[in-house]
Amino acid sequence: MIRSEPPQFVLDLPHRPALGAEDFLVSRSNAAAVALVDRWPDWVLASALVVGPRSTGKTHLAHVWRLRSQAVGMSARALAESAIEALQSSGALLVEDLDRGIADERVLFHLLNMAREHNLSVLLTSARPPGELEVVLPDLRSRLRALPMVAIEMPDEALLRAVLVKLFADRQLAVEPHVLERIALHMERSMSAAGAIVAEIDRRALALQRRVTRTLAVEAMNALHNGSKARP
């Protein structure tokens, strides 16, 4: 009787994605936001706003700008007086996720004024445009609406394919084009979905000691769709 080998035990170790400028993939859906980052420090105004749904690459692009500008980065929910000193010392500040709440609206208004008056730079990100944000301070509300704004849209199919190739390469997985085609055709159109699918495929391929096939990819996608990561 032929004995099948038991699935290999897989350590659930975190995977650290590559987030450098060379790893950011450009398509029609994010070209305007990429152009904004590329133009820095020659912005028309001292501050700018990048808007787009979650899982579209805003965090990655903001990270690229932060490294390029040597900016200090923080969440809008953590905004405090210390941000003023951070902008003064570094000359650039990244404030992310305005839509999740602004801890101190007066501080943000002061930061935008500082940037304009002293030729400093502030990049803001949000999942919603300024007109849809819950901002109490009238002066800040007006200032945010006056900022140059660029949008990142949900990734198109071409970008998703490129992202999948990059994510598989990050994990040193060889995947044939027809497998990528099947994944891209049936997956949710978001960066987070791409990351989750690749991670689950990697886990299953390692556990079963199998190469990445269409069957394995479909099994992984079905497991994620059903909210299950049961061991294969």
Tens of pLDDT along the chain (232 residues) come to: 333 333 333 333 333 344 455 567 788 888 899 999 999 999 999 999 999 988 788 988 999 999 999 999 999 999 999 999 999 999 999 999 999 999 999 999 999 999 999 999 999 999 999 999 999 999 999 999 999 999 998 888 888 888 898 889 889 998 999 999 899 888 888 888 888 999 999 999 999 889 999 999 999 999 988 875 445 5
173 exposure class (CB count in 10 Å sphere: 0-12, 13-18, 19+):
middle
Q: Tell me, what's the pLDDT at 151?
A: 94
Q: Tell me, what's the pLDDT at 188?
A: 87
**Is-above-0.85 flag for pTM?**
no
Neighbouring CB atoms inside 10 A of 9's CB total: 8
| Helix (H) / strand (E) containing 221 | helix 214-225
Domains of the chain by range and CATH?
21-151 (3.40.50.300), 157-225 (1.10.8.60)
Q: Tell me, what's the pLDDT at 22?
A: 56
Q: Tell me, what's the pLDDT at 25?
A: 79
DSSP 172: T
- CA dihedral sign of residues 136, 138, 141, 144: negative
Preceding omega of 41 cis (within 30 degrees of 0): yes
Q: Tell me, what's the pLDDT at 191?
A: 83
Q: Tell me, what's the pLDDT at 13?
A: 34
